[in-house]
Amino acid sequence: MRTSLPTTRRVRAGAAAAGLSLTLVLAACGGASDETEGDDAAAPANDGETFTLIAGHQLAADTPFDEGLDEFARLVEEKTEGQVTVEVHPNAELGTETDMFQAMQNGTMDVAIVAPGSIAEFVPQVSILSMPFLVTSREQRDEIIEGPIAEELAATIEETSGIVPMSYFGGGVRQMFFTEPAESLDDIQGRLFRVQPSEVLTNAFGAVGLEPTVVAYNELYNALQTGVVEGAENESVYIDSQKFYEPAPNILLTNHEVTIRPLIIGSQTLERLPEDLREAVLEAGEEAGAFERELEAQVDDEKLAALGEMEGVTITEVDTAGVEEQVRPVWEQYAAEWGAEDMLEQILELRQ
């Protein structure tokens, strides 16, 4: 892990941060113009002006996401010789992922890490990256983010929303965990299962026999403890850090999603930067993505091993061979709605 940035650029402002952040951005970036420059707008000349970029994510400090944004900040400062600095806000200090995405569209925030589902409100086909049981290995993930699938999605995101993907974080493998013992997918039929507020996830997990129930992430521990839900899914690092293993110590290795999380920047932010600084920031984003993916894979594997050593925690490998037949109709339904049938077939071919 890299050394964290100096605290002057790592803002841990607590509850007031969300309200203050927009003021910070407006002061740092000269305010959001009422007129948006076109895509072909000439970059301003580099006259030595300094810039501060505001970056945020919804996870806790010192997680791989946070380390990855710290690395981005370090690289930006290094590559621009201090002309551009980055303030990192963890823990949803700047709002939800949807809030941050919209703030970037408005030019009142600069950089964020967001889940595909949070972009899907604006670009629905991006949800294909997080469909359960579709992207199930890091090798398949790498083929996606390094090839034409990611290029096509990035172009669509930029054209539709004015947001530019710089690279991709992620690499943790999502597993299921339950309050009661389970040794196979047959054992979890009908169990109340926490999902994010997503029609795609509801239908996909419902297709394998679970009873999807929407619960806010910050309420999940209590929901497991009180029986509102009997199971949920996440990466090992967050099963550990949020202590979900306490009320739900029965972990099934379903490997149903290798996470892909875009690191995005607003086009208005890029347009404000001189060309040399713009290129440096984008280059830093690409390098930070590679750094974070390697780190997250390492941490995820370590945390899974550590969970297996904990007293009372049971980790069980399960056979998922028949799952594709159950969930494929869900994949195909939404791919057709999004006009992404070819993209779905490309992703499936990469599983071979």
Cα distance between residue 290 and residue 138, in whole Å: 13
Q: How confident is the model at residue 291 (pLDDT cuts 50, 70, 90)?
A: very high
Per-residue pLDDT, 46 = 83
Type of residue found at 133: F
Residue 11's pLDDT band (cuts 50, 70, 90): very low
Which has more pLDDT, 52 or 9? Answer: 52
Phi and psi of 85, rounded to 5°? Answer: -120, 165
CA neighbor of 128 nearest in space, from 208, 197, 57, 204: 204
> Per-residue pLDDT for 335 more than 90?
yes
Query: Which CATH class name applies to 173-258+307-349?
Result: alpha beta
Q: What is the largest CA-CA distance in the chain?
A: 65
Q: What does the pLDDT read at residue 352?
A: 64
pLDDT digits (tens, 9 = 90+) for 157-212: 999 999 999 999 999 999 999 999 999 999 999 999 999 888 999 999 999 999 99
Packing angle, helices 64-79 and 275-309, rounded to 10: 150
Across 267-296, b (16+ Cβ under 10 Å) vs e yields bbbbbbbbeebbebbbebbebbbebbbebb
By the 8 A CB rule, do 52 and 30 touch? Answer: no
Q: What is the per-residue pLDDT for 25?
A: 36
Rg (CA), the chain: 20
Q: Is there a common fold for 7-123+137-169+261-301 and 173-258+307-349?
A: yes
Q: Are 64 and 88 in contact (CB under 8 A)?
A: no
Residue type, position 136, single letter: T
Instruction: Give the model's confidence band at 6: pLDDT under 50 very low, under 70 low, under 90 confident, else very high.
Output: very low
- Tens digits of residue pLDDT in 116-134: 988 988 899 999 999 999 9
pLDDT value at 8 more than 80:
no
Average pLDDT over residues 36-63: 80
Domain 7-123+137-169+261-301, second-level architecture = 3-Layer(aba) Sandwich (3.40)
Domain ranges of the chain: 7-123+137-169+261-301, 173-258+307-349
Q: How does the average pLDDT of the chain come out, rounded? A: 88
Three-state secondary structure readout of the chain: CCCCCCHHHECCCHHHHHHHHHHHHHHHHCCCCCCCCCCCCCCCCCCCCCEEEEEECCCCCCCHHHHHHHHHHHHHHHHCCCCEEEEEECCCCCCCHHHHHHHHHCCCCCEEECCHHHHCCCCHHHHHHHCCCCCCCHHHHHHHHCCHHHHHHHHHHHHHHCEEEEEEECCCEEEEEECCCCCCHHHHCCCEEEECCCHHHHHHHHHCCCEEEECCHHHHHHHHHHCCCCEEEEEHHHHHHCCCCCCCCEEEEEEEEECCEEEEEEHHHHHHCCHHHHHHHHHHHHHHHHHHHHHHHHHHHHHHHHHHHCCCCEEEECCCCCHHHHHHHHHHHHHHHHCCHHHHHHHHHCCC
Distance CA 188, CA 230 (A): 9
pLDDT at 37 over 80: no
User: Is the predicted pLDDT of residue 264 greater than 60, yes or no?
Assistant: yes
Kindly state the tokens that stand for 252: 């099934």
pLDDT score at 41? 55
Residues 6+ apart with CB under 8 A from 330: 131, 200, 203, 204, 207
HSE of 309, CA atoms in CB hemisphere, 13 A: 6
Q: What is the pLDDT of residues 233-258, one digit of tens each?
A: 999 998 998 999 999 999 999 999 99
Q: How confident is the model over 213-228, as a mean pLDDT?
A: 94
Average pLDDT over residues 274-303: 97
- How confident is the model over 68-90, as pLDDT tens digits? 999 999 999 999 999 999 999 99
